[in-house]
Amino acid sequence: MKQCPKCNTTYANDKQKFCTKDGTGLVDAHEARAGQDATIRIDSTQLDDEITKVISQPLPQMIGSAFDPYKTQVSKTDEDAAPPAPSQPITPPTPAAPPPTVSAQVPPTPPPTPVAPPSQPVTPPVDAAPPPPPTAPSTGNIRAQSTQAAISADTVAPRVIPPTAAAVAVAQPKKRSKLPLILGILFVLLIIGAGGIVAGYFFVLRPMLDKNRSAVLEPRRPEPTPVVVSTPEIIKTKPEAPKVEVPPYSPPADAVKFVNSKASLDGKLAEHYLDFSFYYPKTWQKDPKAGTHGASNFAKVERRLPPDFTQENFAVGWYSSTGSAESDRVVFPTLAETLSNQFAKSFTEYKKVSEGPTKAGVYDGYEFRFESASRKTEHGDIKIWGRVIFVPPADGGTNGVTLLMLTTSLAPELRSVDDVGVRGELPMMLESFRFGK
């Protein structure tokens, strides 16, 4: 085991001679421990100058020798070293053809290990004998070795180095990049997407916005709520109805005015009484039974052919109203069907011809028309045409009126059911009918 006498660093290898930290020569560890108790003073003049010079001189580099990590090598700089001079000129052989890659195999030169110069002269122990001075190689030997290495480097057979993977990769053809293709596809998809968005706006979104805008600008009109009524007697509502101003009727000079009165009424007529009036021709006859006990009509007038044949007939009855013209329009078809079934039992060859809204003078109403026949009379076969109009009350009351008109083919002005209330003398009664007194 070796130990540095200066820094006391211990080395296990006995072959190591100098300390790697400060360059001090190593001594045996046992001797170092033995001499630690004594103080030894050595004069620098006692040292051999030659030994110091030899140690201070740089050691030559051994070309071709193996690197010993336990030896300290000293190399000269380029300025101190003289270029080698060969003893005779050397002409390298000319190669037949230059190889693709030629490298001279020169043994690697190990990097020099710098040696820190000692701060003070090496002081060997007293008991130990100074080491023999190393023999410094001559300059001629160093130059010969350098020349020999140069000649061997030139005359060595060339070695072909196989191409590396990088060279093979460079020799292969370069692959084409897929970036332009990807960018082209993305551009086409972008164009298609933009077209789809524009089409969706013009064909889907814009019509919806226009529809919503029109719905906001134009308020929705309220729709009437239909009222379903099974029978007129069930509904007893009486909403306030606005009064309808009707123009007065100007009757002819021979006309007679009928005004309804409650004085002689009883039963159903008294229960469903309402005020009304109308004008009829003076030549017509009034039925004395109308408006009396047990009668079914408030009034009845007739144009007759002597002795007892009806040409035109006009009667005023009643029906239970809901109190509203709008609500009564819902039940009018039911009323028409009920009354038509009653007529079918009283008239021979009965047939309902038409049904729907109509006009009764100045009032709106609902009608149905029918026709029948009377066979083998004194005037032969007689055709009968009838028309029934339901008129809701104008003041919002619970009683409406039923206007019944009957005509026959004995009236020379009439030709069909369409002439009832239009031709003959019946138009006077329809035009002059008014609610109230």
DSSP state string for 178-213:
SHHHHHHHHHHHHHHHHHHHHHHIIIIIHHHHHHHH
Secondary structure of residue 363 in the 3-state scheme: strand
Assigned domain for 241 exists: no
pLDDT for the residue 295: 83
Among 162, 178, 197, identify where a domain stops.
162
pLDDT grade for 395, boundaries at 50, 70 and 90: confident
Among 127, 142, 162, identify where a domain stops.
162
Is the per-residue pLDDT at 76 higher than 50?
A: no
Whether 260 and 138 share a structural domain: no
What own/partner pairs with CB < 8 Å and gap ≥ 24 does 200-207 have? none
- CA–CA distance, 392 with 324 (Å, rounded to integer): 7
Buried b (16+ CB within 10 A) or exposed e, 137-170: eeeeebbebbbeeeeeeeeeeeeeeeeeeeeeee
**Average pLDDT for 288-307:** 87
pLDDT for the residue 155: 42
Assigned domain for 173 exists: no
Counting residues of the chain whose pLDDT is more than 70, the rounded percentage is 60
The residue written with tokens 């409650």 in the block is 262
Q: What is the CATH number of the domain that holds 293?
A: 3.40.1000.10
Assigned domain for 225 exists: no
Assigned domain for 335 exists: yes
For residue 106, give every residue at least 6 positions away whose Cβ sits within 8 Å of its Cβ, in sequence order, or none. Answer: 149, 153
pLDDT grade for 366, boundaries at 50, 70 and 90: very high
pLDDT grade for 291, boundaries at 50, 70 and 90: confident
Whether 320 and 427 share a structural domain: yes
**Which is more confident, 30 or 111?**
30
**Average pLDDT for 195-207:** 86
pLDDT for the residue 240: 53
Whether 263 and 149 share a structural domain: no
Q: What is the DSSP letter of 135?
A: P
pLDDT grade for 221, boundaries at 50, 70 and 90: low
CA 146 to chain centre: 86
Whether 288 and 152 share a structural domain: no
Mean pLDDT is highest, among 66-75, 104-113, 116-125, 345-354, for: 345-354
**Which is more confident, 1 or 50?**
1
Whether 277 and 418 share a structural domain: yes
Assigned domain for 234 exists: no
pLDDT grade for 243, boundaries at 50, 70 and 90: low
Whether 150 and 286 share a structural domain: no
pLDDT grade for 208, boundaries at 50, 70 and 90: confident
pLDDT grade for 186, boundaries at 50, 70 and 90: very high
Whether 283 and 402 share a structural domain: yes
Assigned domain for 167 exists: no
Assigned domain for 200 exists: no
- Are the CB atoms for 41 and 24 separated by under 8 Å? no
Domain count of the fold of the chain: 2
- φ/ψ (deg, to 5) at 122: -70, 130
pLDDT for the residue 54: 44
Buried b (16+ CB within 10 A) or exposed e, 310-333: bbbbbbbbbbbbbbbbebbbebbe
Assigned domain for 351 exists: yes
Is the per-residue pLDDT at 315 higher than 70?
A: yes
pLDDT grade for 101, boundaries at 50, 70 and 90: very low
Range of the domain at 342: 255-435
For residue 171, give every residue at least 6 positions away whose Cβ sits within 8 Å of its Cβ, in sequence order, or none. Answer: 163
Residue 299: how many other CB atoms lie within 10 Å: 22
Among 105, 127, 162, identify where a domain stops.
162
